[in-house]
Structure 1
Amino acid sequence: MGRIIVEVMPKPEILDPQGKAIAGALPHQGFTEFTDVRQGKRFELAVDGAVTEEALAAARRAAENMLSNPVIEDVVGVYAEDQ
């Protein structure tokens, strides 16, 4: 069984309140190395058999049409998960 990973992030110009909250909390937990956080979404799509180029293309279409909101989000990754 193959698996395709789809990653979706807010567009850079869109306010990310969850990312801001995480960024504000990190220094209080001792993580001072980070200057900004953006929170996105990850989808895992299973396919029968190996991941093919056709399955990746279908995942990209699904990501652009259903898994993301193109007004406020970018699809930043569609790839086969390494087994």
Structure 2
Amino acid sequence: MTQTYHARIYVTLRPSVLDPAGTAVQSGLKHLGYDNVEGVRIGKYVELTLQAATADEAESQLDRMCDQLLANPVIENYRFELVDAIAPASVSN
């Protein structure tokens, strides 16, 4: 029996990779008077729902999704979390 899992995926540039978008945002914030902001990095946030038999299987699928499509492993890091699982609805007559 499978369960429905909700996942949150965070993709960020590796610390060694320059982040021109982050630099532009930091500059804009400084221009707006936020001189106390440093180290702005821009990333991606993905939410998805998937079916899996167990949480371990869901995590394994998420790992493969990130490696194969959602993140570029050469320049990006990723992490994910399973938010909750919804048991399939039972049908009764």
Scaled to the shorter chain, the TM-score interval is 0.7 to 0.9
Please state whether the residue corresponding to 1:26 is helix, strand or coil: helix
Equivalent residue number for residue 9 of structure 2: 6
Equivalent residue number for residue 69 of structure 1: 72
Equivalent residue number for residue 43 of structure 1: 46
Identity rate, percent: 32
User: Over residues 14-71 of structure 1, what are the superposed CA-to-partner deviations in whole Å (9 max), with x where a residue is unaligned?
Assistant: 111100000111122232221120101111111258x722112211111112111111
Equivalent residue number for residue 17 of structure 1: 20
Equivalent residue number for residue 33 of structure 1: 36
Cα 1:30–1:68 change in 2 (3 A) is: same
CA distance in 1, matches of 2:82, 2:6: 6
2:81 to 75, 79, 82: 79
| Aligned residue-pair number | 82
Please state whether the residue corresponding to 1:81 is helix, strand or coil: strand
Superposition deviation, residue 2 in structure 1: 3.3
Cα 1:82–1:28 change in 2 (3 A) is: farther
Equivalent residue number for residue 56 of structure 1: 59
List runs of 5+ in structure 1 lacking aligned partners.
Answer: none
List runs of 5+ in structure 2 lacking aligned partners.
Answer: 86-93
Task: Name the aligned partner's letter for residue 34 of structure 2.
Answer: F
After superposition, the CA RMSD in angstroms is 2.3
Bigger strand share: 2
Cα 1:61–1:21 change in 2 (3 A) is: same
